Amino acid sequence: MTRTLETLSAPLPHLQPADPAARLILFGIRQMGAQGLDEATAANAFLTAFGVDFRRPLMMLRVLMHELSVAAARPIPIAPWCCPRMTAAEATLVEAMRGFSENPDRSAYLIADLIGVRRADAAVCAMAGVVSAFGDLGLPIRPD
């Protein structure tokens, strides 16, 4: 029985974060990754979380998703929006955002490694915008 559970959870090795900001970002990543950058459900979730100031964090996440897709040398696996666990790639994105304020160089390295390039300057810059927008609007991405 244990062998079966290990096999089933292998593609999704991480639990979703408890932090509401990280969960919202993860939801946005999953929705935009599956449905496109103009996905309305993600926009509604951001409107619910931020009220009338939802545009800046939403646009910054759209820019991040665009930059990741343009710069990536390999696919970035994402889980369905309803899945309570995360892929390793999703966990890396969340971890990079969580640690950006304390160690931006480490976050840049994580993103570059994730997308398979030596430097991911545009994606890191977009990630800084996401982290900043969330923090400025009172929903900072907190480390676990």
Reported as a single tens digit per residue, the pLDDT across 68-78 is 999 999 999 99
Which DSSP string do the residues of 71-124 spell out, in sequence order?
Answer: H-SS------TT-SEE-HHHHHHHHHHHTTTT-HHHHHHHHHHHHT-S--HHHH
The span from the CA of 139 to the CA of 27, in Å, is: 15
pLDDT for residue 103: 94
How many domains are there within the chain? Answer: 1
Evaluate whether residue 2 is within a structural domain.
Answer: no
Within the chain, which residues score under 70 in pLDDT? 1-10
> What range does the domain containing 41 cover?
15-137
**pLDDT for residue 142:** 85
Between CA 8 and CA 100 the distance in angstroms is 32
Q: How many residues does the chain have?
A: 144
Q: What is the pLDDT of residue 106?
A: 95
pLDDT value at residue 7: 53
Among 102, 114, 17, 134, residue whose Cα is nearest residue 67:
114
